């Protein structure tokens, strides 16, 4: 299927690693022009080079997205390079374990800036260009908004906010023909996830325990599977889809866990 995204300029925050990298690589493979926005120039360049080696094109902007001015400057840099923006993938963030019992105001607010505030700022600064292109926004969010986890109030609140903003923006931007959707991630195998698992006393046992609870095929979602859904939502092939929270999680959130052992 031709996704009709050739030469479309798509910003991907956190696009140098993990889920973001998977999205950027697939966009490039489909002929789009991913603009990777991330804090590490070395990581950004490495991903751009990998995309170019595979025959695609990409662009990178170094930005610390917890800095509001950096969000504005990143969007300006993409517009200076391409003169247009056709889509935005808000993806950057991290589960930073800022809890309630042992947390504090400063860390909680910092977590919101790290995980949610830049979603708003990037969309705000992209909006004039998205109005012109009738582009699309996809927000990457986490199961924690539904399930909780414990000891991660900042990240859970941020993901609840990401989901709410998805629906709110979908309503507000109807008049411009801009579609806004979210892809909700549960247990997805990424370098960050791998590092977390490997830091535990029995990583192989812990991974097996987690995967046993995922109903579909008892395995983790891959970054490529998340990317497949995101790129479809960005494309004109998803032309009548907006305000949706799409769970790409092997049934983890909504199916009965007893099914995993059936």
Q: Which residues are catalytic?
A: 155
CA distances from 234 to 46, 147, 182, 229 (A): 24, 27, 11, 9
Residue recorded with tokens 């696009």: 15
Quickly list H helices, 54-188. 68-82, 105-112, 118-133, 144-147, 153-172
Q: Which residues make beta-bridge pairs with 36?
A: 12, 60
CB atoms within 10 A of CB 69: 10
**Residue 162 φ/ψ, nearest 5 degrees:** -60, -45
Nearest to 24 by CA among 39, 35, 38, 40: 35
- The C-alpha atoms of residue 153 and residue 102 are separated, in whole angstroms, by 10
Could you tell me which residues come within 8 angstroms of residue 161 by beta carbon, excluding any fewer than 6 positions away?
A: 112, 116, 119
User: Exposed, middle or buried, 120 (CB in 10 Å: 0-12/13-18/19+)?
Assistant: middle
């Amino acid at each position: 299927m031709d996704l009709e995204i050739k030469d479309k300029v798509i910003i991907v925050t956190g696009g140098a690693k993990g889920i973001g990298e998977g999205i950027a690589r697939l966009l490039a493979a489909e002929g789009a022009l991913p603009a990777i926005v991330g804090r590490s120039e070395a990581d950004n360049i490495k991903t751009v080079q990998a995309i170019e080696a595979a025959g695609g094109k990409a662009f990178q902007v170094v930005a610390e997205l917890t800095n509001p001015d950096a969000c504005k400057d990143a969007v300006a840099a993409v517009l200076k390079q391409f003169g247009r923006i056709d889509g935005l993938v808000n993806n950057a963030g991290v589960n930073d374990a800022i809890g309630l019992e042992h947390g504090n105001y400063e860390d909680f607010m910092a977590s919101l800036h790290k995980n949610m505030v830049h979603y708003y700022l990037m969309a705000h600064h992209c909006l004039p260009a998205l109005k012109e292109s009738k582009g699309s926004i996809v927000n990457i969010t986490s199961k924690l908004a539904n399930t909780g986890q414990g000891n991660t109030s900042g990240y859970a609140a941020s993901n609840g906010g990401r989901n709410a903003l998805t629906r709110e923006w979908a309503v507000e931007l109807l008049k411009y023909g801009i579609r806004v959707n979210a892809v909700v991630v549960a247990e997805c195998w990424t370098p960050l996830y791998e590092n977390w698992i490997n830091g535990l006393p029995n990583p192989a046992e812990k991974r097996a325990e987690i995967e046993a609870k995922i109903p579909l095929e008892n395995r983790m979602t891959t970054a490529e599977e998340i990317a497949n859904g995101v790129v479809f939502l960005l494309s004109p092939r998803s032309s009548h889809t907006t305000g949706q929270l799409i769970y790409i999680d092997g049934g983890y959130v909504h199916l009965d866990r007893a099914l995993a052992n059936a």
